[in-house]
Structure 1
Amino acid sequence: MPITVLNAPDVGNPYGCFIDGNFYRAGCDYQHYYATMIGRLTRSNSHRFALEIGGGFGGMAYFLVRDNPDLTYIDMDLPENMALAAFFLLSGCPDKKIALYGEVDLATDDLSQYDAVILPNFAIEEIKDNAIDLCFNSYSLSEMPMATVTNYLAHFNRISSKFIYHINHTTVGSTKADEFAIDYEKFELISRAPAIWGKACNPLMDEYEFLYKAKNLSF
Structure 2
Amino acid sequence: MVLKLYSLALPVGGQGIVALVLAEKQIPFEHIAVDLDAQGHKTPEFLAMHPFGQVPVLDDDGFILYESRAICRYLSEKYSDHGTPLLPKGLKERALVEQAASVEFANFHPAASKVVREVWNKKNSGLPIDQAAVDAGLQELSAKLDVYEVILGKQKFLAGDSFTLADLFHYAYGPLLAEGGVDLMTSKGPNVARWWNELLSRLAWIKLKAEGIKGTAS
TM-score bracket, normalised by the shorter chain, equals under 0.3
TM-score of the aligned structures, taking structure 2 as reference length: 0.27
Structure with greater strand share of residues: 1
* Structure possessing the higher relative contact order (Cα contacts under 8 Å, 6 or more residues apart): 2
